[in-house]
Amino acid sequence: MIDRYTRPEMKEIFSLGHKFDTYLKIELAVSKVLAEHKVIPQEDYEKIAKNAKVNLPEILELEKETKHDVIAFTRSVSNSLGEERKWVHYLLTSTDVVDSSLAYIYKEADEILYQDLLKLKETLKNLALKYKFTPQIGRTHGIHADITSFGLKWALYYDELNRDIRRFLEAKKDLETIKISGAVGNFANIPPYVQDEVAESLKLNSALISTQVLSRDNHAYYFSVLMIISSLCEKIAFEIRLLQQTEIHEVDEYFSKGQKGSSAMPHKKNPISSENICGLSRLMRGYLLPILEDNALWHERDISHSSVERVALPDGITLLDYQLNRLNNVLSKLIVYEDKMKEDIYLTHGVIFSQRVMTELIDKGLSREYAYDLVQALALKSYNEHLDFHALLVGNDDIKKHLSEKEIDSCFTLDYYFKNVDFIYKKVGIE
């Protein structure tokens, strides 16, 4: 991933140097277990642990010749050792090291993503509490519908994020799994206890069964969860973009001193962060399909998945980390115009209270069909001719037969829409 969308923490985790450092970590963990079981001499293991070095320039030079990064790695490490070098990569196949190293690297990245998710969760909770009783017009199909609480938007996102976190924790557990089972996964050349004990020492999971590679269903499930999380980021960012439109203008992204919106139009203040977040979700969706296709490999393995995973998984994980942090920054500084929200409620001359008037008429004994048609005619007249809906109701003879002016007035209050907000918040765990 390009530096523009890469935070330093993720850049380090997915760096080439860190990859080979992790290869060495796996090799040393295997050698330690083999020494403990007296398969290799303890003194040789101690020499390897003390002297084995990763020499990145040498590895890259050797790879030009060998066309194989793991062989280049093992030969370079061996060059830093004496006769004990014969135990480097002993009983292993390349993917024992590669897949196990990736599991370790993904675990490191997952710790960062998990903290990102927790920070966003806290921000959403704070917004939900702050705007719990802030009235806002709800929109369906982009059209004014009924009054809601601005806080309920954030409570909804909070609830969805909780589900995403649950999915993430499940998916990452499966992804953080090692295999050290040999060339075709049958443990013919390496004892099964090596895999289990290495997994325990590195706090990773041990595969129940594998071929030469781990099954890629875990990778597909994991990235599907990342994509679902990314889609939540997109959903929130989309809402901000819509609410920042000039004709609505109920929120603004923070606009710093000296920031510019357009090279041609000095007045512009654009929701660029939210737009960026939506664009990154398109990239994430693009990565998902090849990762899903990686699960079907030839026989006990091929390397068609390798090229995909060298790009798609590091890029996708890095992008989600960037998305979550950028979104959290936007939300932490979000400017909310509560007065404009209230103004927009009355933009349609009061017709958004039509449902309550209709319900009141039904409660008075009218059929639903008659009450609907009666109220609709007045609501459309109000909307189309820019007339006050309340005044039309009060002045209509058919309405006056059933509702007093006081009863009509009672249909135009805002507190009515908050009567079950506490109940909803309690259900989603915000108190």
Q: What is the separation of C-alpha 430 from the centre of its chain, rounded to a whole number of angstroms?
A: 21
What 3-state class would DSSP assign to 202?
Answer: coil
pLDDT confidence of 183, banded at 50, 70, 90? very high
Q: Which CATH class is domain 348-428?
A: mainly alpha
Q: State pLDDT tens for residues 323-356.
A: 999 999 999 999 999 999 999 999 999 999 999 9
- Give me the pLDDT at residue 257, please: 81
Q: How crowded is residue 352: how many other Cβ atoms within 10 Å of its Cβ?
A: 22
Tell me how far apart the alpha carbons of residues 377 and 381 are, in angstroms, rounded to a whole number: 6
Percent of the chain that is helix, strand, coil (3-state, to 5): 65, 5, 30
Pairing of strands 143-149, 135-140: antiparallel
The continuous run of DSSP H or E covering 217 comes out as helix 217-243
User: Taking the domains of the chain in order of start, what are their residue ranges?
Assistant: 1-90, 93-342, 348-428
> Is the pLDDT reported for residue 246 higher than 90?
yes
- Give me the pLDDT at residue 419, please: 96
- Give me the pLDDT at residue 306, please: 94
Q: DSSP readout, 243-291?
A: HTSTTT-SEE----TT--S-SS-TT----HHHHHHHHHHHHHHHHHHHH
Can you read off the two tokens belonging to residue 199?
A: 């997994």
Count of residues for the chain? 431
Q: Which of 40, 28, 13 is nearest to 201 (CA)?
A: 28
Q: Which CATH class is domain 93-342?
A: mainly alpha
Average pLDDT, the chain: 96
Q: What is the pTM of this model?
A: 0.94
Tell me how far apart the alpha carbons of residues 181 and 183 are, in angstroms, rounded to a whole number: 7
Q: What is the mean pLDDT of residues 94-101?
A: 98
> Is the pLDDT reported for residue 154 higher than 90?
yes
pLDDT confidence of 170, banded at 50, 70, 90? very high
Q: What is the mean pLDDT of residues 218-243?
A: 98
What torsion, rounded to 10 degrees, do the Cα atoms 408, 409, 412, 414 define? -140
- Give me the pLDDT at residue 327, please: 98
pLDDT confidence of 1, banded at 50, 70, 90? confident
Contact 74, 62 (CB under 8 A): no
- Give me the pLDDT at residue 261, please: 85
Which active-site residues does the annotation give? 141, 262
What 3-state class would DSSP assign to 144?
Answer: strand
Q: Which comes out higher in pLDDT, residue 105 or 266?
A: 105
Q: DSSP readout, 5-30?
A: G--HHHHHHTSHHHHHHHHHHHHHHH
Architecture of domain 1-90: Orthogonal Bundle (1.10)
Q: How crowded is residue 358: how many other Cβ atoms within 10 Å of its Cβ?
A: 21
pLDDT confidence of 69, banded at 50, 70, 90? very high
Q: State pLDDT tens for residues 13-50.
A: 999 999 999 999 999 999 999 999 999 999 999 999 99
Start-end of H helices in 131-216: 150-175, 192-201
> Is the pLDDT reported for residue 291 higher than 90?
yes
> Is the pLDDT reported for residue 190 higher than 90?
yes
> Is the pLDDT reported for residue 258 higher than 90?
no
- Give me the pLDDT at residue 259, please: 84
Widest CA span of the chain, in angstroms?
105
Contact 87, 34 (CB under 8 A): yes
Contact 240, 251 (CB under 8 A): yes
Determine phi and psi for 143, rounding to 5 degrees.
Answer: -110, 145
The continuous run of DSSP H or E covering 206 comes out as strand 205-206
Q: What percent of the chain has pLDDT over 90?
A: 96
- Give me the pLDDT at residue 158, please: 98
Q: What is the mean pLDDT of residues 136-149?
A: 97
pLDDT confidence of 169, banded at 50, 70, 90? very high
